[in-house]
Amino acid sequence: MSLPHSEGHGMSEGDNADFLKVCDELCYELSSLQELACRGAWRSILDKVAQARSRSLLSKPHEHLVYLAYNAIALTKLRRFSEAVAELELVEKGLDIYRYEAYPHHYPNRHGSMAPFVLRWLYAELPSRIGKRQESLDRFYMLLQFIREKLAKNLPDASRAVWRKREGLVINSIISHHLSHKEFKVCLDLIKELINHDLTPVARATLMTKLGYIQMQYGDLDGARGTFNGIEGIVTEGKGEIVMQNLVNRNKALMFLVEKDYVSAVMEYQKCIDRDVSDVIAINNKALCLMYMRDLSDSIKVMENALERIPTYALNETFVVNLCSMYELAYVNHSDIKKTLGSWIARVAPDDFDTSCTRI
């Protein structure tokens, strides 16, 4: 998890390097929070925040906001959404009241909002986690307007780049909410708008891939094929970066999957794995193709080898659900095998891993 950015103009309007430097100077034990987040130790973060608050170790406004951000993220990761919503009641009072210039004795010569951007994002996202989808959408559209008001200003290039990334993040969040309800027209409009921005080749190719997936979902296979073909031209611009080459091969494999040409799909996924052994999407989908070909032994072997070789990348709920489904199809004693898998997961998984995915 990357550190939440500040929004203060005095810190290059959210420049991450400056933010880290400032926080190292101003924020109590920030590095330990960051380390715990990187390890997925979300319960430990809750404990550390609670201790810091109870012992009054947070003396500056910025410290309270950073700890609030980490606490809200940890609660969200642990699916304690109601508690996270309660934690963010502060946002409803207006994060913009927390400005550097209001505390000149703590932050001399700094100005702008000291609020980590992640708090604004969580404020928009969390209602959907407690069944209030429309409220989330409304807040995301308001957040998008807030970002575009920032972009309308005369910002330094570095600051503009940060806010452009945030705009992309929020638009992608909005797309995901609409896509989950099969509101394809809105998704297409948003993606086409975002594609017109000044994007890196990788960002453009990734966005076009999402466009192709949406086209496939509503049955426009020719449109999806055309979109995927367009990505190959962008890969040439990107000088053959592995991530982009794999994107092309995964898209080709997806078209083969739709046509039920599983052998060709496996070949495309294998090209991805040969380039990057940590391409979990390719590994997962290759195993599914083998399962569709009724080669359960090899499909299980592909999944188990990945968990053994690259557990940090492969250990996610979708991957484990698929592996457990294969166990159920392949073995009579699948419950015992899944219990063994569950015991291993309990030892190595981060706090937010949903162990119910093993269906034991």
Question: What is the C-alpha separation between 234 and 341, in angstroms, rounded?
Answer: 41
Over residues 230-240, the pLDDT tens digits come to 998 887 654 55
- Helix 117-129 / helix 61-77 crossing angle, nearest 10 deg: 30
Q: Which residues pair with 99 in a beta bridge?
A: 113
pLDDT number for residue 200: 79
First to last CA, the chain: 30
**Which DSSP string corresponds to 206-218?**
HHHHHHHHHHHHT
Question: What is the C-alpha separation between 293 and 256, in angstroms, rounded?
Answer: 13
Low-confidence ranges of the chain (pLDDT < 70): 1-27, 90-94, 236-240
Both tokens assigned to 120: 């604004």
Sign of torsion, CA 76 142 145 98?
negative
pLDDT number for residue 92: 60
Question: What is the C-alpha separation between 148 and 156, in angstroms, rounded?
Answer: 15
- Residue count of the chain, please give it: 360
pLDDT number for residue 236: 64
Residue type present at position 40: G
Q: Which residues pair with 113 in a beta bridge?
A: 99
Over residues 181-237, the pLDDT tens digits come to 999 999 999 998 888 887 778 888 888 999 999 999 888 999 999 999 999 888 765
- Cβ atoms of 175 and 210 within 8 Å: the answer is yes
Name which of 173, 176, 96, 190 is nearest 139 in CA terms: 173
pLDDT number for residue 12: 35
Model confidence, pTM: 0.83
Name which of 257, 256, 307, 260 is nearest 283 in CA terms: 307
pLDDT number for residue 17: 42
Both tokens assigned to 176: 């995901």
pLDDT number for residue 262: 98
Both tokens assigned to 345: 């997961």
pLDDT number for residue 91: 67
Q: Which residue carries 């407690």 as its tokens?
A: 130
pLDDT number for residue 194: 86
Both tokens assigned to 226: 């055309």
pLDDT number for residue 82: 96
Question: What is the C-alpha separation between 228 and 222, in angstroms, rounded?
Answer: 10
Instruction: Write down the domain spans for the chain.
Output: 315-360
Question: What is the C-alpha separation between 242 and 234, in angstroms, rounded?
Answer: 13
Scored b (16 or more CB within 10 A) or e, 295-313 reads: bbeebbebbbebbeeeeeb
DSSP 8-state assignment for residue 5: P
Sign of torsion, CA 85 47 357 279?
positive
Residue type present at position 354: D
- Cβ atoms of 230 and 192 within 8 Å: the answer is no
Residue type present at position 68: L
Name which of 73, 71, 60, 69 is nearest 28 in CA terms: 60
